[in-house]
A and B are shown apart, each in its own frame.
Chain A
Amino acid sequence: MIIGAALLVGATVVILGACVLLILAVVAVRARRHSRTQRDEMLLSPLRPPLITVASGEDDDGAAAEQLTWATGVSRTVLDRNIVEMLTKIRGVPAEQLVHVLEVHGAVDAAVVEMSSRSTVKRARAAQLLGLARAGHTVPLLVEALGDEAVEVRNSAAYALGLIGDPAAAGPVLAAIGAPERGLPAATAAEALQSMGVGISEVLRDGMADPNARTRMVAAHLSGERSFTRGLPELRALLDADPDLTVRETSATAIGRLGRSEDVGILVRHTVPSEPLALRRACVIALDDLGEAEAIPALAVLLDDSDPRLAELAATALLSMGPDGRDALAGHENDPAVRSARLLAGLQKASA
């Protein structure tokens, strides 16, 4: 016999025992969630009326906020958690009052301490709290956390820096995207940088020369979103020669948003059939966004392109360029691309 009876019995007992344990685990997880929800609800219920008063901006004399500062023990922990959640949704005086409650509770100071906790979750939540409390003095601490070993902490630190909005943090945030092994997700970095005002344009220019493609893409994208015209030379260079197609497409879109008449030639250069189709289309859309009349002859040539979508995009762009653009459609009235573009423009106009 290959398997001994004792081994078989032992293995069966282990498997069945593990099954029972897992069933108990399912029950325990659910029961714990249920009891914690009930406990939190019970602890929070006396504090809910003043909390709502403050959050809704009706605490003119500050009495409700004062009442919230009296919370102690577990009630205070539960209250602080709810305040942090509320701070993600409210602004202005109510937010300032709630931040004051957190400060009185010592939650902001505790968060500074927890930034060096061994628990990833505690470090991440502490970073978020510092951001929500707009604790400007903790920017160096948060910048340091951009290099944390846990992505959750890096994410939370970038989020907090975005909330604080200090442009001095823009460089480290952008650089963190391409950090080897400990990169910051591009989406979080982009959202944080978006909140840092106009003082980040130079940082974005530098970012467009970064060796990391994600960093260049975020920098190019934000330069377009925020209309930082000083980044135009870098955007043109990326469109021309970046090895990454996504970066080139992003640069074309950005140039469409903030470019000038001299950018028509650059965009047109990348609408030729030898370029990737996705880039050609992005450039035609950018020419449409740019709206410069110099693009009309090149767009008219594209009406005969073998790609029907490109031809339709060119027709749409020409239709939006006034009488000269519409004149360029002469001789193409029966082309499907032109008829389609006209029809869609007509529908949009009628519904406007």
Chain B
Amino acid sequence: MSWDGFVEGLRSFVLWSMDVTAVPIIVYFILINTSLLVLIVLAYLEFRAQQRRRSTAVSWQGAGLAPGVSLLVPAYNEEAGIVMAVKSFLTLRYPRHEVVVVDDGSSDQTFARLEEAFDLVQVPRELPHEVPIRAKVLGIFVPRDGRTRLVVVRKENSGRSEAINVAINAASEPLVAMIDGDSILEPDGLLHVTRPFADDPTRMVATGGAIRPVNGSRVVSGRIVRVEMPQTWIPRIQLVEYLRAFLLGRTGWSRLGSLILISGAFGLFRRDVVVEVGGLDPNSIGEDFELVMRIHKRLRDEGREYSIEFVPEPVSWTEVPVTAKVLRNQRRRWHRGLWETLWAYRSMLFRPKYGRIGWLALPYYWLFELFAPLLELFGIIIVPLALALGIVNVPFAILFLVLAYGYAVLVTLSAMVVDEWAFHKHDRWRAIWQTIAASILENIGYRQATVWWRLEGWWSSLRGKKHVWGVMTRTGFDEDPA
């Protein structure tokens, strides 16, 4: 075939593709943007209510009805920061809480550091088997002082989900909070996320708290003393993504009573409900999402009254990936987890007994979270090709790109307004300009790369490839030991 013939064939193919997909893509574009607009409006309404509540809030120190909380901390090779993290968790402002650390077969000095810092002694305790576990528990330890509410469990390495399941078995309080060992909690964070349980003690089963990237901020003794912007663009763009996801997405879904995702980095659950549904699924990649779906399904199947809420106050701060390699692994895992969980719970789609979860939240996640990268990839390939072949008008294509990406920036800016109005975490003016710049830069390269990584994750699941957990390389905090 001659070059001209090849070009003509390609031209015909691209033209045909554009003809066939034009209407569906336009409809999709309108639907996704409209749904985002609806979420923005819902989030705005929720924030207006939240802001009213905050400006008229009366002091609550958790006396009386505040349920006890067990903080579950899975730790694998966390020798660098585990002692400081545990100390900061133990000193949170809350009337009754304990910390349960599960050393998931660390090959470094994680346990030795804890043993030394808290003068641990082994307890000949047998753990309940309320949540089934496969790995062998090697020992249970408590501080010698008999007062510090810390339990350390050593077990063979079997992954984060199993470590949390062991911690659930070891927990003694009615609420369990799943947190990462490298997370930093706000001193009043527990008071914020337990408040819905105290307000509605018979119906509330889970709450999720907002999570922010900690990169670049100044941390002293496990506490953030000054919130700063990350120093490089990859985490800055993730900050923008977190703002969008937590301040618009989850707040909007919570307003609708259809929250189906609570981040694994911080979630608070009724222990008896988690036990009842069997704890985290150790075989799931998106174990946090899967757990919330299982709770929804179980409680709705049984026709029980319950509530799951999102608390928009920043509760937990976490270190986000700074390199493309680590980010790629994270996004592959997230999208794979999304697909596997959505597929596992496909029977809930459009079933009246699942209410808004089945009619709104799940279809949204299928259409606009799962399939979004597929359609975006199509656009990324076909538009430059059509431009090169002279099929589309150049100013028209540029205008369309500006419109599409301008809309993405608009959504981010809406989240920024909410953040500035309600929380005002960044003092410096520079932070505003950097966030705006990040919301624009996100569309140049970063977005396209994450599209590809998400599809990689999906594809590897479809091919049945075993997921390998990558190592999240931590750069550590700008810790000031003074």
A198 to chain B minimum Cβ distance, whole angstroms, is 17
Asked if A312 and B66 sit within 8 Å, CB to CB, the answer is no
Q: Could you tell me how many residues of chain B have their Cβ less than 8 Å away from some Cβ of chain A?
A: 56
- What CA separation (Å) do A160 and B35 show in the bound complex? 41
Distance between A24 CB and nearest chain B CB, rounded to angstroms:
10
Knowing A16-B402, A156-B58, A339-B124 are in contact, say whether A151-B417 is a contact too (CB < 8 A): no
CB-CB < 8 A to A159: which residues of B? 58
Asked if B416 is at the interface of the complex by the 8 Å CB criterion, the answer is yes
* Contact yes or no, A336 B23, CB < 8 A: no
Question: Which one of A30, A185, A309, A337 lies within 8 Å of B424 (CB-CB)?
Answer: A30
The residues of A that contact B436 with a CB separation of less than 8 Å are 23
Residue of A nearest to B432 (CB): A26
CB-CB under 8 A from A188, the residues of chain B are 58, 60, 199
Residue among B124, B416, B429, B436 facing the most chain A CB atoms (10 A cut-off): B124
Q: Which of the 9-residue segments A57-65, A117-125, A231-239, A266-274 touches chain B?
A: A117-125
A151 contacts which chain B residues (CB < 8 A)? 53
Residue B3, interface by CB 8 Å: no
CB nearest to A9 among chain B residues: B399
B400 contacts the other chain (CB 8 A)? yes
Interface residues in A, total, Cβ within 8 A: 70
User: Given that A2-B22, A187-B64, A308-B127 are known contacts, is A278 also in contact with B272, CB under 8 Å in the complex?
Assistant: yes
B172 touches A26 (CB 8 A): no
Could you tell me the distance between the alpha carbons of A218 and B55 in the complex, rounded to whole angstroms? 26
Q: B126 interface residue, CB < 8 Å from A? A: yes
| Residues of the B chain whose Cβ atoms lie less than 8 Å from the Cβ of A88 | 58-59
Let me know if B417 and A26 touch, CB within 8 A.
yes
Q: Decide if A15 is an interface residue (CB 8 Å cutoff).
A: yes
Contact across chains for A22 and B413 when beta carbons are under 8 A apart: yes
Does B320 have its Cβ within 8 Å of any Cβ on chain A?
no
A241 within 8 A of B: no
Within 8 A of B (CB), among A1-51: 2-3, 5, 8-9, 11-12, 15-16, 18-19, 22-23, 25-27, 29-30, 33
Extra contacts, 5 of them, besides A29-B420, A33-B424 (Cβ < 8 A), are A30-B420, A152-B53, A222-B64, A308-B125, A339-B124
Question: Interface on B for A, CB 8 Å cutoff?
Answer: 22-23, 26, 52-53, 55-56, 58-60, 63-66, 121, 123-128, 130, 142, 144-147, 172, 174, 195, 198-203, 272, 396, 399-400, 402-403, 406-407, 409-410, 413-414, 416-417, 420-421, 424, 429, 432, 436
18 residue pairs bridging A and B, Cβ less than 8 Å apart: A12-B406, A15-B403, A18-B410, A22-B410, A22-B416, A25-B417, A30-B420, A121-B55, A185-B200, A187-B65, A187-B195, A218-B65, A245-B272, A276-B272, A308-B125, A343-B121, A344-B123, A352-B146
